[in-house]
Homo-oligomer: A and B are copies of this chain.
């Protein structure tokens, strides 16, 4: 089903290697066994004992008979090569309207997850971190992709946000929970809750600790996420400081990173104090800006901060929308201002989008339809990451820094920078080859010549292989 990684050399491109180093023109990147084996000026390729690529027409692939070990040489002159992009916060199943969850229930969520992983990969995002989803389906697809049985973005997943109920619980879209058959609502919610749902918010910290320990031990998750702020009523703390500390301790004891979603200044502070490794929505502080002291702590500790930011164009439209609740409107503006201050202070902001896949009917969806009221809808997987980079630049980040924030720093935030996030020898061969300079215009991230994942060149035209939500209505 999926191609086989071959040994190739990409030559001639300008390399933006994800470290923030100056662009390297006419670079060569050698790939073997799914890894990058050598990176440097193309001119140096021969000197180190390897055969240079011969002149090829742009985009042509040729088996170089002279190569070592049958290595294919691809001349990508005129293009720009970056690390495959990484998104630190996606939801491979995000539109939880009944028409979707019921039609694909019970055994077909895998199709939704697979489509999303392929939509992401098609857009050049070679690794995604799913921070809330129906665990079993996400895990199955993750494993199939890892096993090479299915093409798609590499997935790391958290399962449930510990302490939150499922999609039709009061923590998310309560209206569905109130109007559908309770037995069905409970069954659907369980796909997400996995024993660490809302009931944990009622528990003494000691009981909660045990439930979390069990979850970590049996769920096969890659990292831990919990609800610091309540999701639907987000001025409240979902979990006490003691409970938060217990979760972080259990994660660390199991060798996993812990992150949390905090949405007010006090929740953010509580989260930092609990010892999390990554602040999800770290720039979302509701109706009040992030306090200066908290900001300083983030900077000093080098605490990675997954920032949700919207384009100025979107913010202008939100501000002008009288139908929008004040918090939603003001909150978005404050988020961006927080991002600006974090960037200026030298915090480590990384790309997170909260994105998922939406199809033709999403505009009228009770669940996510309102996101379309303003332009630059920011959570649609496939272009959300470009809007993020544009927004980050508007907030003061240099274009090169925005690239680093979308590659190496995501990997760092998740402590996977030894494997991913840069174009350096030894890393996984996840590459994005662009026809135009992404530093000149974020829109150029969409001008994709090639996507390579794990050394495999992706046939993007085939993705998604089985369109589900992205089918025509």
Contact = CB atoms under 8 A, between A and B. Distances in A.
Given A181-B365, A236-B237, A364-B183, A202 B97 contact: no
Interface stretch (A18-26, A44-52, A260-268, A434-442): A260-268
Contact of A288 (B175, B203, B270, B291): B203
Contacts of A204: 265-266, 269, 288, 291, 294
A230 B233 CA distance: 10
Contact of A184 (B99, B269, B291): B99
Contacts of A201: 235-236, 264
Interface string A255-294: 0000000001111011000000000000000111001001
Number of copies of this kind of chain in the complex: 4
Nearest to A101: B102
A184 B242 contact: no
A180 interface: yes
A65 interface: no
A205 interface: yes
A240 B270 contact: yes
A361 B198 contact: no
Contacts of A147: none
A129 B393 CA distance: 56
Given A202-B286, A236-B236, A361 B241 contact: no
Interface of A: 97-99, 102-103, 105, 170, 175-176, 179-184, 198-199, 201-207, 230, 233, 235-243, 264-267, 269-270, 286-288, 291, 294, 323, 361, 364-366, 369, 473
